[in-house]
Amino acid sequence: MTIQQPAFATPREISRTRRLAIAALLIAILLLTIKFALFLGGGAQTILYPFGIDYGEGIVWQQALRIAAGNAYGSIAQYPAIVFHYPPVFHVLSTATATIFGADQLVAGRTISFLSTLLIGGFAGLIVFRCVREEAGAPAAAICALISSLVLLTMWPVMSRAPLMRVDMTAMAFSFGGVLLGIAALRRPILIHAAALCFVAAVFTKQTSVAAPAATFLTLWLVEPKRARAGLVTTVMGGLAGLGALIWSTDGGFIRHVFLYNVNRFEAWRLQWIATALAVHCLYFWVAGVGAWRRIRDRWPAYRGASLAGIRAQRRAAPADAAWLLILIYFTLATAMSLMIAKSGSSLNYLIEWMCVLAVMVGLTMRDAASTAIGPPATAARLQSVDVLLTAILPAAVAMQALILPAMPDVTTRASIADIRKLVEVVRVAERPVISDDMVILLRAGKGVEWEPAIFAELASKGMWDERPFVRLIEEHHFAFFITEGDRGDALFDSRYTPAVAGAIASAYPVERHLAGYTLHLPAAGR
C-alpha cells in the first residue's frame, strides 16, 4: 500500500502567496490601526463623560466609597443597605488613583478600566510573540503580536466595557498577566510564583476569574508537574491569606456578600448574546478555528501513541506546543464560562474573557502568513499546497472582519447634558432619599446609594431578603421619588423590581414624569 505524501508548495505558489500575504497583512494592520485610533478617541470621550453610562457604574462607585470609609460588607437586614458584589481590589485602586491625582472618582475608575484594557492587549501580543518567535523568528512574531493586540481592541464586548467603572477589565488584566508569566515559567521556573500572585489578584478583583489559572496549572501539570504544584501552593497560600484578612476585617461579611448574596436567576433569553457575539465576530472565530485545526493536524503525529512521560518530554522540547495547549484549554474554559451570561442582571461582561482568548488565537494563526511574508523562501516552502491559499486568505479575513465591525460607540448621547443636569438638581433638592436605577445621578447630586434595585430583587426572589419592611417604607412615603428605566411590564423594570415593590411604587407614587430618558415616579399632590 502506497502512502500518499503531502504536496508541498511550488516556487510559483510561494511567490504568489508571498505577495498576497504581504498585501493582506498590510491591509489588516491598516484597518485594525484605524479602529484602534477610533477606540482611543471614543474611550477618552467616555472616560470624561460626567454621568452614568452603565447600570453598574454607580453601585461600584458607592461600594468604593464605603470600602474606603471602612464600613463595607455589612448587614443588609435593614434599610439602608447595599450588596458588595465583588472583592475590593478594583475599588481600592480607583480610590487610590482618585486620591493621589486629585481626580473625580468616576473618571479615575474609568481610567483604570481603560488602561487595564490596553494592558490586556499588550499581554495578548506578548503571549503570541513568545509562542510564535520559537518557530518563525522575532520579525514574524512581532507581526502576529501586533495583530493579536489590535484584534482584541476591536471586539464588541471589549469595546463596550473598556471605558466603564467596572471590575471586569482589571480582573482580565491580572488574568492575562498570569497567563503570560505562566508561559514564561516554562523556561524560567521562578516566574510561576509571579503568575500565581497575578491569579490571586484577579480573583480578588472578580471572584469568577478562575479560567486562566485553571488552564495554566493544568497545562503545567501535563508538562512540568513540580512547577504546577509550586504555583498552586503560592496561589492557595496567597488566596487564603487574602481571604482570611477580608473575613477578619469584615466580621465574615465578605463571604456573605460575595458568595451568598451575589445570587441570580436563570434567564435563557440572555444566551442569545452568545449567538450575537458569534455572528458579529464570525470571521475571527473562523480564523481561530482554522488555526487550531492546522496546529492539531501538524503536531498530532509527534504525540500519537506516546506515553505521558513521552508527551511531557516532547512538550519540554517544543515550548510552543505547551503554550498552544494552554491557550486551547483556556479558550475551552472561557467558552464554558460565557454561559454565565444567562444569569439575570448579566451583560456583555461575561463574554469578555472569551473574546480576549479568541484574539490570542487569531494572532497565533497569523504565523504562516507572517513568516511567508517576511521569512526566507525555505520557510514558505515547508507549507503544504493545501495551506498556501489559506495563508493569504486568513489575514484577508481578519482585514474584512476589522472593516465590518462597528467602531467604538458613542455612549454619551443617551440624553442631553442639560436634561441630566436638571435631573441631578431635582435629586439634590429632594428632602428625602431617592431610589434610582441610575445611581451615578444620586452620587452627582450628593446623595448616597442606599438601596440597589436589581440585586435586592434577586435576593427577594430567592427568599434571602425580606422585602416587607422596604415595601412599608414605600407605602409610608419614606422616599422623595423613584427614578427608573421604563415602567411596569418592561422586561428591564420587572427584572429590577419585584411585584410587591412595583405595586407599592405604583400605589404610593402614582404620578409619572419623564426626564433625561428616565421615568420619575412621584407622590400625589400634597404628599
Mean of all residue pLDDT scores within the chain: 90
pLDDT at site 374: 83
Between strands 434-436 and 481-484, the pairing is: parallel
Answer whether 47's CB lies under 8 Å from 416's CB. Answer: no
Residue 471 C-alpha cell reads as 415595601
> Which percentage of the chain shows pLDDT scores above 70?
90
Q: Measured at the alpha carbon of residue 167, what is the angle toward residues 170 and 86, in degrees to the nearest 5?
A: 125
Question: Out of 144-148, 220-224, 284-288, 513-517, which region has the weakest mean confidence (pLDDT)?
Answer: 220-224
- Using 50, 70 and 90 to split pLDDT, how confident is the model at 378? very low
What is the rounded average pLDDT of the residues 349-357? Answer: 95
Residue 303 has pLDDT above 80, yes or no: no
The more confident residue out of 214 and 407 is: 214
What is the rounded average pLDDT of the residues 211-237? Answer: 95
Residue 239 has pLDDT above 60, yes or no: yes
pLDDT at site 1: 39
pLDDT at site 316: 65
Question: Out of 67-71, 310-314, 378-382, which region has the weakest mean confidence (pLDDT)?
Answer: 378-382
> Which percentage of the chain shows pLDDT scores above 90?
73
Residues linked to residue 8 through DSSP beta bridges, in sequence order? 384
What is the rounded average pLDDT of the residues 458-471? Answer: 92
Is-cis flag, bond preceding 80, omega within 30?
A: yes
**What is the per-residue burial (b if ≥16 Cβ within 10 Å, else e) of 170-203?**
bbbbbbbbbbbbbbbbbeeeebbbbbbbbbbbbb
Answer whether 388's CB lies under 8 Å from 9's CB. Answer: yes
Angle between helices 89-101 and 55-69 (to 10 degrees): 80
What is the rounded average pLDDT of the residues 99-121? Answer: 97
C-alpha distance from residue 254 to each of 96, 210, 245, 439 (Å): 21, 19, 10, 23
Region label for 465, one of left (φ > 0), alpha (ψ between -120 and 50) or beta (otherwise) = beta
pLDDT at site 4: 45
Which of 95-109, 364-378, 389-403 tops mean pLDDT?
95-109
Helix (H) or strand (E) segment spanning residue 270: none
Residue 346 C-alpha cell reads as 448579566
**DSSP strands (E only) in 395-452:** 434-436
Residue 94 has pLDDT above 80, yes or no: yes
pLDDT at site 484: 97
Q: Long-range contacts of range 443-446, CB-CB < 8 Å, 24 or more positions apart?
A: 443/58, 443/61, 443/62, 443/106, 444/50, 444/51
3-state helix, strand and coil shares in percent for the chain, rounded to the nearest 5: 70, 5, 25
The more confident residue out of 304 and 387 is: 304
Residue 274 has pLDDT above 80, yes or no: yes
pLDDT at site 381: 46
Residue 332 C-alpha cell reads as 475551552
Question: Out of 156-170, 186-200, 284-298, 371-385, which region has the weakest mean confidence (pLDDT)?
Answer: 371-385
Angle between helices 499-508 and 468-475 (to 10 degrees): 10
